[in-house]
Structure 1
Amino acid sequence: MGALAAGMQGLLLSGMHLVLMMVMAPVCARVIAWCRQGLAGGGGPVAPLLRWRMIARIWGRSGMRAASGAGVTALAPWVALSMVLAAVLLVPSFSLGMMGEDGSDLLMVSGLLFAATALLHVVGLASGQGREGRMAAMLLVGMMLLVPALVMAVAVPWMATPGTTIAGLVRFMRMTQDSAGIRGPLALAGGAFILVGVDRVAAGGGRAFNVMMDNLAGPDRAVMLFARDLVTLAWITLGGDLLWPDAIVIPDATGSPRLFVGMMAAIALWGVRTLGLCGVVACLRTFVMASGQVARLRAGLALLCGCLAIVLLFAGREFG
């Protein structure tokens, strides 16, 4: 009975987590865009459901436009969405104890998110159109510049903690005093993950992405937009788990009656953390990455965060 109750609890937590992430992904994308408009001197209400209404409106239009790579462009958004959903199920937001957390390997999760983003760019390459193809190739080259920083960001938690799963990493950070000085390096690794997820679309400037999607319409285009928003929120959540693991609840195996209250508080803390990181993303895009060399800046800053994390980690072990 204990195993059955734990399994039911894990299933419930996984369902709540997935629904929360899917509902909030377009909302967070809209908040980032609104923050960036405000920082740039614009105004207007937040309108958190504006992105959802846009996705619904695109979904209701006619289907995919004709293109030489129609088969690829029709399939790629849906495959990318499946990959993102698989990664999202392994990235804890407000609670541990979800189903499949034993498989939440950091390398696998970051690889799924990175591969899903690359697959979305394949839509532009397969369109057979020069303009879309050039834009997709430019975005893919920018992604390749991020690979060293991503590898270094994944390596930092591996060197700092005994486990390789995200759930084990959060548990270790929650239950261990910072005597070894690992909080600082892990926070820098979380910043590197957020920088990897910060792109023109995440920052509210999606003209490059829209050009790449010119050969899509209808449900395929809507799925592509939603998958991109979900990728952004997954990167932000992954980085937030390393920056502030204390906001994540570890459920009581005995099923305490106060569990529901704790979960509601954890969801509220996750919302505050996520909205704060959305503001950070908007600031990065407005003040730091406002030039045309966005990919190089992202790669350089992410790599710098990874290098500083490794330096601090080994310095703490040597002098701690």
Structure 2
Amino acid sequence: MTHDLTWGWSFASLLALALQTVLLVLAAPWFSGWVNRLAGRLTGERRFHAGGRWLEIRHQFRRSGLRQKGDGLSALACRGALILAVFAACMTPVFTLVPSGFPAPGFFLLCAALVGASLLLCLPLVVQAGAAALAGYAALLAEGLLLPALVPVLMMAGGQDFSAFLARLRPLSPAGDGAPFVLMGVALFLVAAWKGRQAGEELSCQLSGADRALWMLATDCVQLVWITLAGDIAWAGSLAMPGESGMEPWLAQCLAGAGFWLAKLAVAAFLLAATQLMVLAFPRRARVRLAAVFLLGLLAWQVAYPQQAGPAAQDKTAFVQEGQDPAFGEERGAAP
């Protein structure tokens, strides 16, 4: 990676960052629609094609919403969730990293933005009355406990920015030294898997019109960002590295990275469709998901801890040996 951030690389990185963000946001409803259609194929049901999700979002945008009690808070929650989802999409690499010296956020901020978006998506259910409100409170509690369940995964990333963390994982082999981070990616994948259909789609939700469209788009964006995040950590070698060579090789790596991203999404879509075949109540499904995320993250952290602590211990030992007094060492060596 380049240590001197030139104007050319800065402009190229900003352009790639904007392109990756737009790509995630536009592809999110298509991915959700494809998962739904694939699940229908597995169960023998006839469902809409993959683009039907986008058509429904466009239809909701054109409709005039029915205003009810609490819709003001729901509208603010949907808009806030979409803003956080787009912010998280901006921080998640799709086909390339950012060069060294480019401001990049930490992994904790990325996960906190996604969890915050999920919490805001639960608010339209909470403001309702009856059974829908109880289900909304249950979903709110499940999403609120997600960040504590990710503590082992957050410990693996440490306090460094996310791009530097992925750059360190990039040369590691998924079947070798990078195997613990594959477990870390699986733990992040389980955040989106076993979630089943969103609580707002299972129950009667009062949202309509543009608010409903924003809710659907934000939900799809959050799911796709989690999936992309899991794929990046499980195999960071597919991401292009700016500054390693010239501009043309970097562009070729970006195209290859986009192809690998599509391959990851194809595998993730099949797995997500298969998880929809599990018939579990929402509270039980939430408990299974939180427990699986925490246990897999803890296992990944325990496996990766010797590799992460090894270089630090060696550096500390070398520092102690360099700072040792030579005269004292010779005197100890001369003693019988």
TM class, shorter-length: 0.7 to 0.9
Q: Note closer, same or farther for the CA distance 1:175–1:74 as it changes in structure 2 (3 Å cut).
A: same
Three-state SS of the structure 2 residue aligned to 1:14 is helix
Amino acid in the other structure paired with 1:243: A
1:8-27 → structure 2 map (5 Å cutoff): 8-27=11-30
Matched with 1:137 is 137
Amino acid in the other structure paired with 1:125: V
2:54 to 43, 52, 55: 52
1:232-251 → structure 2 map (5 Å cutoff): 232-251=223-242
1:219 aligns with 2:206: no
Q: Note closer, same or farther for the CA distance 1:141–1:177 as it changes in structure 2 (3 Å cut).
A: closer
Could you tell me whether the CA contact under 8 Å between 1:101 and 1:165 is conserved in 2?
A: no
Tell me the distance in 1 between the aligned counterparts of 2:303 and 2:210: 47
Deviations 1:202-246 (A, max 9, x none): x4x34x313566221111110010000000000001111111111
Percent identity among equivalent residues?
25
Could you tell me whether the CA contact under 8 Å between 2:174 and 2:234 is conserved in 1?
A: no
Tell me the distance in 2 between the aligned counterparts of 1:178 and 1:233: 22
Tell me the distance in 2 between the aligned counterparts of 1:216 and 1:83: 19
Structure 1: 5+ residue runs without aligned partners? none
Structure 2: 5+ residue runs without aligned partners? 312-336
Matched with 1:270 is 261
Matched with 1:190 is 185
1:89 aligns with 2:90: yes
Could you tell me whether the CA contact under 8 Å between 1:154 and 1:189 is conserved in 2?
A: no
Q: Note closer, same or farther for the CA distance 1:261–1:125 as it changes in structure 2 (3 Å cut).
A: same
1:169-208 → structure 2 map (5 Å cutoff): 169-175=165-171, 182-198=177-193, 200=195, 203=196, 205-206=197-198, 208=199
Tell me the distance in 2 between the aligned counterparts of 1:153 and 1:102: 22
1:147-186 → structure 2 map (5 Å cutoff): 147-158=147-158, 164-175=160-171, 182-186=177-181
Q: Note closer, same or farther for the CA distance 1:104–1:274 as it changes in structure 2 (3 Å cut).
A: farther
Amino acid in the other structure paired with 1:291: L
1:276-295 → structure 2 map (5 Å cutoff): 276-286=267-277, 289-292=278-281, 293-295=284-286
Q: Note closer, same or farther for the CA distance 1:57–1:64 as it changes in structure 2 (3 Å cut).
A: same
Q: Could you tell me the TM-score, scaled by structure 2's length? A: 0.82
1:106 deviates by: 0.5
Number of aligned positions between the proteins: 306
Tell me the distance in 2 between the aligned counterparts of 1:122 and 1:138: 11
Could you tell me whether the CA contact under 8 Å between 1:170 and 1:242 is conserved in 2?
A: yes
Amino acid in the other structure paired with 1:58: Q
Amino acid in the other structure paired with 2:96: S
Q: Could you tell me the TM-score, scaled by structure 1's length? A: 0.86
Deviations 1:25-80 (A, max 9, x none): 00111121122222223356x7221110111111111124211x232112110111
Tell me the distance in 1 between the aligned counterparts of 2:204 and 2:23: 27
Radius of gyration: which is bigger? 2
